[in-house]
Chains A and B, each alone.
Chain A
Amino acid sequence: MRRFGARRPDDRRRPAGARKPALRTLARGLRARLVVAFLLVAALSALATAALTFREARTAILQRTQDTAVNALRGQVNSQAPDLSYPPGTAGLAKFAANLNRAGEAAQHWVVHVRYGDGPMVPSLRPGEDAAIGTGVRKKVQAGIAAVQRVETEGRPWLVIGLPVTFSNNTKPSGVEVFARVPLREDEANVQALVDAAQSGALPAVALAVVPALIAAGGVLRPVRELRRGAQRITEGALDTRLKVTGRDELAELSRTFNGMAAALEENVAELRRMEANARRFAADVSHELRTPLAAMTAVVDVLDEDAATLDPDTAHAVRLISEETGKLARMVEDLMEISRFDAGAAALHLDEVDVAETVRKTLQARNWQDEVEADLPDGVRARLDTRRIDVVVANLVGNALRHGGAPVHVAVRADRTAERLLIEVADQGPGIDPEVLPHVFDRFYKADAARVRSEGSGLGLAITLENVRLHHGTIRAANRPGGGAVFTVDLPLRTGGDEE
């Protein structure tokens, strides 16, 4: 659940990963995997069920057919065998077989062959049907055991039953053997129907499995998606993002953990921000508080300066020192105030369309640097600038160049109208900047030498320069020229038109 009132960033950048998923990632996604797993399970269960059912049913059907046929045959043989003269002749056997055939015609559709001893089958098997009565059955029957076998003849299933005929007074085999071939086509049809039923049941079952699969996938994916959205919102800076926790499962636990993490993060960030704001406010307050006594001191330094000449040398020296340092202190506090305004985001840009050459020239004139600076200022370059801030930038850079490089300092203004950039270059003839120092020249209070000698300025000059350039959406670079000397390049957008920010 999102509580409103969070600071939401203006630019709702979609972080990487929030893009529309490609088809391949979709196929590899959780939902697809879950659905496929569900379908596999459903298909396997349906198949297993169908197979087991089929096997059991088929066995049961065939067993029943077999039992029925064997019992019927046994009954018929028992009732017909006494009429058989013994030892039987071929004619007797044929009659016996015909009788048996007739008896089973209606119910069993069997075909009966009879033989005596190792004699031929009566009626004899048609050519091609030799294998219809397997040798296994024959052997068992010869051994006096009733046997049953299922065989395929000419692509049709048959049940072959072999019965040895025993004498009724004892169990000695008489040598007469009855073989009956029962067609199993109807049972096959029954079994086929079973298979069909299993199939037509399994397919819809598998298809229906998609529904619970999707529901389950949804149940898993919704919290996961929520989690992703939440993480994304936190990435965008909405640290008050919380997820709705439903249920008591692992995903709910995960959401709860996420909420805990977000809360901790929010707290930490708030704490950091508070500390930072306090530190900033403190710096600003200190500078501000220093200002009032400084205002009183600064107001009277010229009184001191004027009268110093009339005092005894020591006192005069002390007075001049106080006057001098008061000025430095005032400048430093001024710079500190300026920096804290930048830090607090309270620095406002007052843009005005001005002639750039004139702006730079006035900066040099105001500080009497015309003789020490070679200026290359093309006419007719107009740009929207905050003149007060650009004055600070140019004055800081030129002042720096004069201190470290010495005159003549070269100032150049160049306008690149195609790229819409305005370049201000300040170069000196000095020894250049130590490569180790180069990355730190814009740092606050950075002292180039280890001795930490107090520089002329406040130690904030270049830091303020950098901030002023940034405020104009520009950049500033420091480098050493191949020919010697340092060069600072201010790169600003060249905008014209409009008269207010």
Chain B
Amino acid sequence: MSRVLLIEDDRAVREGVTLTLRRRGHEVEAAATGEAGLAALGAFRPDLILLDLMLPDVSGFEVCRRIRATQQLPIIMLTARGDDIDVVLGLEAGADDYIVKPARGEVLEARIRAVLRRAAPADGGPEAAARPAEVHGDLVVDRAGLVVTKHGKDLALAPSEMKLLLHLSATPGRVHSRQQLLEHVWEHSYHGDARLVDACVMRLRTKVEDSTRSPRYIQTVRGFGYRFGPL
């Protein structure tokens, strides 16, 4: 199935999550500290990281930032609180999604699958692969190869950022509400946390826009949501 790196300091939670994920066919490597998790990164080469925010040594935010500095693999935060600054900071640090503890095995499984789908190319069949890359201003979007370049340089986009950009740029000029984006990009329920969308848009803008103050590609439509362009 997939290789999951779990970084969690509490032994019982570590064992419980490992157990339930292994039962679901995942290969799990568990680390008790941030440093150990970062060390395991190279050897284990995970497809996805489950990261507890409340770690004893290096904080979850720091681990998240360090991973994002070099890699764009999916990161899901495990948080004890879903309603405070932790989530916002974690999302700013580059996490793709978060799960509030306690969570059942099936919830973990559903989130993991959704995030992995974001990182995988869209199933467009053979004709999709032959589709030429789209050009939007300075951006070149290759949907089949999941590559976005700006001025010829590849942009390092995390799975959520990539999926969001692809989803918005598919219909330039059309407004998408936050709740719609949550359903499509994050596969959350309609009543999910809109901060996921906002944080992701912010991160995406820093990578895509010339000026985050006056965004050209991902524009805010006050009271309604976001839209791509029109350029």
Chains A and B come from one and the same complex: yes
A binding-site residues for B, Cβ under 8 Å: 288, 291-303, 306, 330, 333, 337-338, 341, 346-348, 350, 352-354, 358-359, 362-363, 366, 384, 387-388, 390-391, 496-499
Q: Which residue of B lies closest to A299 (CB)?
A: B16
- Assess the A303–B195 pair: CB atoms within 8 A: no
Pair B195/A295 contact, Cβ less than 8 Å? no
**Residue pair B13, A292 in contact (C-beta under 8 Å):** yes
Q: Is the CB–CB distance between B191 and A296 below 8 Å?
A: no
* Docked-complex contact A366 and B194, CB < 8 angstroms: no
The majority secondary structure among interface residues of chain A is helix
Q: Please provide the chain B residues from 139 to 154 with a CB less than 8 Å away from any CB of chain A in the complex.
A: none
Chain A residue nearest in CB terms to B190: A362
Nearest CB in chain A: distance from B46 CB, A: 19
**A390 CA / B220 CA spacing, docked (Å):** 24
Nearest Cβ on chain A to B120's Cβ, whole angstroms: 25
Complex interface residues of chain B between 176 and 194 (CB less than 8 A to chain A) = 177-179, 189-194
Chain B residues with Cβ under 8 A from A346's Cβ? Answer: 83-84
Known: A362-B189, A366-B190. A341 touches B83 (CB 8 A): yes
Q: Give the one of A296, A352, A354, A496 with max B CB within 10 A.
A: A296
Interface bits B1-42 vs A (CB < 8 Å: 1, else 0): 000000000101101110110010000000000000000000
Shortest CB-to-CB span from A281 to chain B, Å, is 14
Besides the known contacts A295-B78, A298-B103, A497-B222, 11 further A-B residue pairs in the complex with CB atoms under 8 A apart: A292-B80, A295-B80, A295-B102, A299-B20, A333-B102, A350-B193, A354-B177, A359-B191, A387-B190, A496-B223, A498-B223
A8 CA / B102 CA spacing, docked (Å): 40
Q: Does B104 contact A (CB under 8 A)?
A: yes
List B contacts of A358 (CB < 8 A).
190
What residue in chain B is nearest A498 (Cβ atoms)?
A: B223
Q: Would you list the 6 A-B pairs with minimal beta carbon distance, nearest first?
A: A296-B12, A299-B16, A298-B102, A362-B190, A295-B101, A391-B191
| Chain A residues positioned under 8 Å from B15 (CB to CB) | 296
What is the count of residue pairs linking A and B with beta-carbon distances less than 8 angstroms?
113
CA distance A53 to B224 in the complex (A): 95
In the complex, the chain B residue whose C-beta lies closest to that of A337 is: B81
Whether the pair A348, B179 counts as a contact (CB closer than 8 A) is no
Judge whether B108 is part of the interface by a CB distance below 8 angstroms.
yes
**15 A/B residue pairs, CB under 8 Å, sorted by A:** A295-B101, A296-B15, A299-B108, A302-B105, A303-B19, A303-B105, A348-B84, A350-B194, A353-B223, A354-B179, A366-B190, A384-B223, A388-B193, A390-B191, A497-B222
Report the minimum CB–CB distance from B6 to chain A (whole Å).
11
Shortest beta-carbon distance from B90 to chain A in Å: 16
Q: Measured between alpha carbons, how far is A333 from B82 in the docked complex, in Å?
A: 13
* A contact residues around B83 at 8 Å (CB): 338, 341, 346-348
Residue numbers in A under 8 Å from B23 (CB-CB): 303, 306
Minimum CB–CB distance from A376 to chain B (whole Å) comes to 20
CA distance A294 to B102 in the complex (A): 6
Residue of A nearest to B100 (CB): A334
Min CB–CB distance B108 → chain A (angstroms): 7
Cβ-defined partner of A352 (8 Å) among B10, B16, B194: B194
Residue B62 interfacial (CB < 8 Å): no
B106 close to A (CB within 8 Å): yes
The answer on a CB contact under 8 Å between B102 and A299 is: yes
Within 8 A of A (CB), among B104-143: 104-106, 108
A388 touches B191 (CB 8 A): yes
Give the nearest-CB partner of B195 in chain A: A350
Query: Which residue of B is nearest A497, CB measured?
Result: B223
Are the CB atoms of A330 and B195 closer together than 8 Å? no
Contact residues in B for A330 (Cβ distance below 8 Å): 102
A496 to B104, CA, bound (A): 37
CB < 8 Å: which of A291, A294, A366, A499 contacts B220?
Answer: A499
Q: What CA separation (Å) do A333 and B103 show in the bound complex? A: 13
B19 close to A299 (CB less than 8 A): yes
Query: Please, which residue of chain B has its CB at the minimum distance from the CB of A382?
Result: B223
Q: Which residues of A contact B224 (CB under 8 A)?
A: 353, 499
Complex interface bits, B199-231 against A, C-beta within 8 A gives 1, otherwise 0? 000000000000000000000111111000000
Residue from B20, B84, B191, B193 in contact with A300 in the complex, judged by beta carbons closer than 8 Å: B20
Q: How far is the CB of A100 from chain B (nearest CB, A)?
A: 122
Whether the pair A300, B189 counts as a contact (CB closer than 8 A) is: no
| List of A residues within 8 angstroms of B80 by Cβ | 288, 291-292, 295
Cα(A295)–Cα(B101), bound, Å: 6
Is A387 a contact of B179 with CB atoms below 8 Å?
yes
Contact of B13 among A299, A338, A348 (CB under 8 A): A299
Q: Please, which residues of chain A bring their CB within 8 A of the CB of B108?
A: 299
B225 / chain A contacts, CB cutoff of 8 Å: 499
For the complex, give the distance between the alpha carbons of A499 and B221 in Å: 8
- Tell me if B20 and A303 are in contact (CB < 8 A): yes
Distance, CA A359 to CA B178, complexed state (A): 13
Closest to A301 in B: B104
Chain A residue numbers with a CB within 8 Å of B84 are: 341, 346, 348
Q: List A contacts of B177 (CB < 8 A).
A: 352, 354
The residue of chain A having its C-beta at the shortest distance from the C-beta of B8 within the complex is: A295
Complex Cα–Cα for A237 and B48 (A): 53
> Which of A338, A366, A497, A499 has a CB less than 8 Å from the CB of B189?
A366
